[in-house]
Amino acid sequence: MLTAQKLQMPPVMNKRPLDDPLGSVIKRNPELCGILPANQKLAFVDIGLDSSPRRRLILIREADGTLRHATASERDRLNQIFFPLPGRRLRTPMLFRDGNLEVFE
């Protein structure tokens, strides 16, 4: 009976590209160096609903003025923030938990 059924190949996705921030640089703007603190980056995310998480435009502006495409791990984190998947939760840093916040009036 099982041999009479047709086997079907499961759907396969393309392999994710390696995280290579040097190969995905769009523009270097040295005149923007020093505007952001050295440990911060700006993320620009297309939050339109018409694009899939894999095709969504996500750009990162480094502190040295470099504008580049987001790496795979950055894409995962930013997609989860803007479009959370059911069953997944974000880890809230200890700084923002109720016992650690003080209200100033």
In terms of pTM, does the model score above 0.75? no
pLDDT of residue 45: 93
- How far, rounded to the nearest angstrom, does the alpha carbon of residue 87 sit from its chain's CA centroid? 18
Tokens standing for 25? 């640089």
CB 57 within 8 A of CB 67: no
Phi first, then psi: what are they for 25, rounded to 5°? -75, 130
pLDDT of residue 48: 86
pLDDT of residue 26: 93
CB 31 within 8 A of CB 66: no
pLDDT digits (tens, 9 = 90+) for 12-70: 888 776 666 556 899 999 999 888 888 899 999 998 888 888 888 999 999 999 999 99
Domain positions in the chain: 25-84
Report the distance separating Cα 3 and Cα 9, nearest Å.
Answer: 16
Report the distance separating Cα 83 and Cα 69, nearest Å.
Answer: 19
